[in-house]
Structure 1
């Protein structure tokens, strides 16, 4: 019989995703057939499965921690904000359209719950343990009737719930007590324990608080998890952008990422941020940009709006000036589209504008379609000029998520060639570079996760500054596996796993 444990939080960004990842790894190391699950995810970071289906990035990390290939049953409902209280709704990995928050919560969400239950039934047939993540808080009384990700899932499965609070944000005791008070009696009974997350300092000084919580709520505190520095694990959504560096840190090579309002898939740059000789930071103004060695224009959930924002903020003119001064600019997906000459939107997929001028830094034009292209890809990076040197990395792995078709001017440099899409052989160019080696762009997400490409690019930037090149510093995939092991070890040390296992067994009786 399948056993369950569910993590819900007193609010967003209390660490539910990371603790779900930790439990997946802990159970995986126990030899269990464990799978992560989140009924509905609202996130700008998404991923494409081998089947070409889209899912939340946090569940991908959880799947990796569980030793599994990511699959959309782990996240059957995905909401991708597009702006103006509107989101693209993705069910079972496929977009079904854009909806306002009101239309979704008041009219569609309960219908989407059928996708949730169907995914759960399939997972129950294959796995003996399901670690379930909630979203936000279960105590949002205005959303309770239409909620499909917190207590509705717990009640459907009769799953025991652990309630998580973030003490680093302050007010964790009040948040736990208040959340429990706002739950219905049946919901409160499903909460079997409390977890205090991100604790700093002397744990012995917290004992009176633990005693108070247990007496006040009648629920055991099953763990006080310390704040873990530099996890090296993909983060869930745009809330985590608030924690990103805003100024260059220590590092030989300074990498600036333009944080547009509709930025998406910023996990593309985590591997760069982990390089010991690189300093990656996010900027929103001309003043914050400073003097980086390279500038990256990231993916976007609304390329047209972000392009207009670049102009209004002055960053569009600044990027052109930086290129004239010799600073290279790289565009990924939506960023690649923005670097071109024009963007056409005949179906008004993103906005009311039929045409918007691009930044004019690459000889390409993009036309939006009313359907999304989503593929896992294997690609070849042909040698091309970058900063006066030859950048070459051979084979690459990654994925595509984009609405547009980009046309390239005759004779342009096209270094990125996809040779396999979702397991099918092909030969398609998905990127363009300038002959002067100062600007290039591509549709390949995960480009910098490829160790040879990442190191070759950084070494060219090093040599340009008069610094000696370095060998590959990190095996990104192996580092992630070590990060999962580290997270699991720390979490297991500070969680009462014996009690959690008993709670899971008892709930299945």
Structure 2
């Protein structure tokens, strides 16, 4: 079967978007396509549907998006190894959708070698289902200090015998040095696996960089496979890296102002993409070091480390800002870890998030949470204020207390007696138009869009069309070993 791996000269060069765009492009041409990422590191995750006796599992948000691009349900095989950072040196390890404890960075380097057979096995299963598998690398293969036991880039490419295309980001500058430098530092075997390069995020007249592209070809011998322009539609896709939160959307007069503190381990922040796109909503992520602004609603987002981020919230003084917000009559909504913070106490007796411990919560809901038991991973649907939603739960912890007798959703959650403080475990709460409309109506705002999935789907088609015009698509198919005459026959 055919496969192609896109690796990058660094993180955030646009690998995820280009893989998604190519997945949609080739799917639209009639191929059965599957996405794959051997190892991902992200606190933005998605839950797959239950499979037989086994429940749902976790994969990176980018692979769930790429599955949408392929018009197929996401599976745990699409991202068999997921690392969810909990500290600067430690991360929760997810293997084929299931939590396998927390690993420190140094120890994980030794653990990786044992994961390679698992990664290759998942890839082979996808390969058997598809005409083409498009694989996304992680970080950069030029980080040669990480080459030993690698399963994310060249280590996997060699094990699975997959050709590689390398991506350079011209928006950052020094793209010639990035690509040529990668060629210089890679060993002969790794260098030989790269069959060509793509340049991403070009602004302006592409002819102005013709000499630069020729220089890269001359110095590397790799084929020039095209240059993508800056893709505005990418802003309408769910982002995986929290760095995008530092690029605020333009503000306009709005009926509802929402503030979300950027916790140090913020997770699943794409929950808020549908709200950010609403003209009636002025949506503001508040970075560390800045006070929460005066607003109508504060949303405490999900986090990969509830106790650590509760301490982080207090260190920023946001607990004081939040108390003042509540005294002014403002509303508060907690999602997942943010929901846990709203209670009276959080305990971690088994050290799920780090050393065993506990902390006093914000005390805004009469609840307690114990971080014990198996991780909850399940799709959920129900009603929010009479509007239908579809989402998922993905959390460790059991929450109990009187506030649960006043549920926010038909499926659970809690609301304070005065109705101004609420929380739940459901991610994706605002993606469906009926739930979003009901939620906004409380504040005198209205929705101006349908289901957010339609926005994402249209963006994928727009990106696919753009890539079809600027990439050498036939050359990419040839490198991937797709039988062109079979494609033409379709």
With the shorter chain as reference, the TM-score category is over 0.9
The equivalent residue for 1:82 is: 86
Answering whether residue 243 of structure 2 is matched by residue 239 of structure 1, we say yes
Q: 54, 58, 69: which is aligned to 1:54?
A: 58
The 1-side partners of 2:340 and 2:404 are apart by 18
How much does 1:143 deviate?
A: 0.6
The equivalent residue for 1:64 is: 68
The 1-side partners of 2:370 and 2:346 are apart by 6
Instruction: Please give the secondary structure, in 2, of the residue aligned with 1:369.
Output: coil
Q: 448, 454, 460: which is aligned to 2:430?
A: 448
The equivalent residue for 1:406 is: 399
How much does 1:274 deviate?
A: 1.5
Change (3 A) 1:47 1:87: same
Instruction: Please give the secondary structure, in 1, of the residue aligned with 2:260.
Output: strand
Q: Deviations over 1:239-260 (max 9, x none)?
A: 3333345x85554422211111
**Aligned residues of 1:451 and 1:472 also touching (Cα < 8 A):** no
Q: Deviations over 1:369-400 (max 9, x none)?
A: 0531111112333xxxxxxxxx431x321111
Answering whether residue 449 of structure 2 is matched by residue 473 of structure 1, we say yes
The 2-side partners of 1:410 and 1:502 are apart by 60
Change (3 A) 1:138 1:456: same
**Aligned residues of 1:87 and 1:99 also touching (Cα < 8 A):** yes
The equivalent residue for 1:435 is: 417
How much does 1:351 deviate?
A: 3.8
Answering whether residue 408 of structure 2 is matched by residue 415 of structure 1, we say yes
Instruction: Give the TM-score taking structure 2 as reference length.
Output: 0.94
Instruction: Please give the secondary structure, in 2, of the residue aligned with 1:454.
Output: helix
The equivalent residue for 1:496 is: 472
Q: Deviations over 1:461-491 (max 9, x none)?
A: 2x2xxxxx53552331111111110110111
**Aligned residues of 1:349 and 1:370 also touching (Cα < 8 A):** no
The equivalent residue for 2:28 is: 29
The equivalent residue for 2:441 is: 459
How much does 1:84 deviate?
A: 3.5
The equivalent residue for 1:423 is: none
- Segments of structure 1 that go 5 or more residues without pairing to the other structure are 382-390, 419-428, 464-468
Q: 386, 392, 396: which is aligned to 2:386?
A: 392
The 2-side partners of 1:128 and 1:442 are apart by 41
Answering whether residue 151 of structure 2 is matched by residue 175 of structure 1, we say no
Instruction: Please give the secondary structure, in 2, of the residue aligned with 1:132.
Output: strand
The 1-side partners of 2:468 and 2:482 are apart by 20
Change (3 A) 1:411 1:251: closer
**Aligned residues of 2:289 and 2:316 also touching (Cα < 8 A):** yes
The equivalent residue for 1:317 is: 320
How much does 1:403 deviate?
A: 0.9
**Aligned residues of 1:193 and 1:221 also touching (Cα < 8 A):** yes
How much does 1:359 deviate?
A: 0.5
The 2-side partners of 1:9 and 1:410 are apart by 48
TM alignment of 1:32-431, pairs within 5 A? 32-51=31-50, 52-105=56-109, 107-231=110-234, 232-245=236-249, 248=251, 251-285=254-288, 287-352=290-355, 354-381=357-384, 391-393=385-387, 395-409=388-402, 412-418=405-411, 429=412, 431=413
The 1-side partners of 2:404 and 2:112 are apart by 49
The 1-side partners of 2:310 and 2:19 are apart by 36
How much does 1:287 deviate?
A: 3.9
**Aligned residues of 1:412 and 1:434 also touching (Cα < 8 A):** no
How much does 1:357 deviate?
A: 0.6
The 2-side partners of 1:249 and 1:146 are apart by 50
How much does 1:114 deviate?
A: 1.4
The 2-side partners of 1:411 and 1:157 are apart by 50
Counting matched residue pairs gives 478
The 2-side partners of 1:171 and 1:251 are apart by 40
How much does 1:60 deviate?
A: 0.2
The 2-side partners of 1:205 and 1:124 are apart by 39
Q: Deviations over 1:326-346 (max 9, x none)?
A: 111110000000011111222
**Aligned residues of 2:403 and 2:415 also touching (Cα < 8 A):** no
Change (3 A) 1:450 1:140: same
The 2-side partners of 1:283 and 1:309 are apart by 13
Instruction: Give the TM-score taking structure 1 as reference length.
Output: 0.90
Change (3 A) 1:29 1:357: same
